[in-house]
Amino acid sequence: MEETLDGARLHTAEHMFARALQEQNLTIHVRKADTYRADNVGKVYIKEIISIDSLFSAEKAVNSKILEDLTVKEEKFDNLEKAVLKNPKLRFNEERIDENGEIRIISIGEYDFSACKHLHVKKTSEIISFSIRRVSYLGGETEIDFLAGYDSIKFLLDIKNSVLTAAIENHFIPEEIGAYIKNEKYGRMEAEKEEKDLLSGLIQKSSGIIEIKGVKISKFYGEVNSIVRKNPEKCIALTNGQQIMIIKGKDCRIDLLGIGKKLKEKGFSGSVNESIINGRADENIIKELKGLWKN
Ligand SMILES: [Zn+2]
């Protein structure tokens, strides 16, 4: 794909977005990032589940760095060791390192240092604006579509105008806007709503591990996350027998890092941080989790 200015905006914004997520002390592994696309939509696939709050706060950080108009520079090094020595905050990804061994470091002010061979903007103000357009947790990873430049501005205006139209139709009562959007959405997804209501009911009643067979549990991520936000003392664990997903509220005392460590000892290879455990799990791991949960 040809490397255009539109692509360079998305691509440089993607460097900043990865940095902004890391600055929140999140462990992230980018499986794939695609920024030079014909439709000018950036895509990034992260192996971990990243909460919507973290994504929005990274989006905000990127936009504030765009406004600081940081200078984007490149510097060449003979090898990775020398590059790391000079840039201790260096991020690097095997795919973005040239085969001939020379390392090209892209620095964005003092904010980010990353090894990369692609085209970047020269100043962050050239990115103009950065917005997340879509987030999906299907398959247990975080897939993010994002926009930069005038596409981002246009997207934000379209959203603003549709909310404003809804506000006018609802006589500017903000609470009714939420209900309006919800009705529109659930009108189209009646079946899914029933499924999620059922799950909500289960979660409210149970303090144990909730087992739901035959469904992809990652599709409940949004629902579980919103329940935990409304009930910060709760910690919710779901399994379908092949995967586990545990999400903890901010006032809950359960030590997910400790639990994650014990699960890893049993061979669990999913992601673990202090508020989320997520990944594939076999019978033994689920059995271990049940034992830990009782205590
Ligand atoms: Zn790059």
Give tens-digit pLDDT for 94-121. 666 666 678 899 999 999 999 988 999 9
- Average pLDDT of the segment spanning 147-160: 95
Domain 204-294, CATH = 3.10.310.30
> Where are the chain's structural domains?
5-157, 204-294
Ligand 1 centroid distance, CA of 36 (Å):
11
Ligand 1 centroid distance, CA of 75 (Å):
13
Ligand 1 centroid distance, CA of 281 (Å):
35
Beta bridge partners of 167: none
**pLDDT for 165 beyond 90:** no
Q: How many CB atoms lie within 10 A of CB 181?
A: 13
Q: How far is CA 89 from CA 44, 238, 248, in A?
A: 21, 36, 30
Task: Please give the model's pTM, rounded to 2 decimal places.
Answer: 0.63
Ligand 1 centroid distance, CA of 158 (Å):
29
- Top CATH class of 5-157 equals alpha beta
pLDDT value of residue 95? 64
Own/partner pairs, 1-6, CB within 8 angstroms, 24+ separation: 1/36, 1/37, 1/38, 2/36, 3/36, 3/118, 3/119, 4/36, 5/121, 5/126, 6/40, 6/148, 6/149, 6/151
Closest residue by Cα to residue 244 from 267, 216, 204: 216
Burial class (CB in 10 A: 0-12, 13-18, 19+), 51: buried
**5-157 and 204-294: identical CATH topology:** no
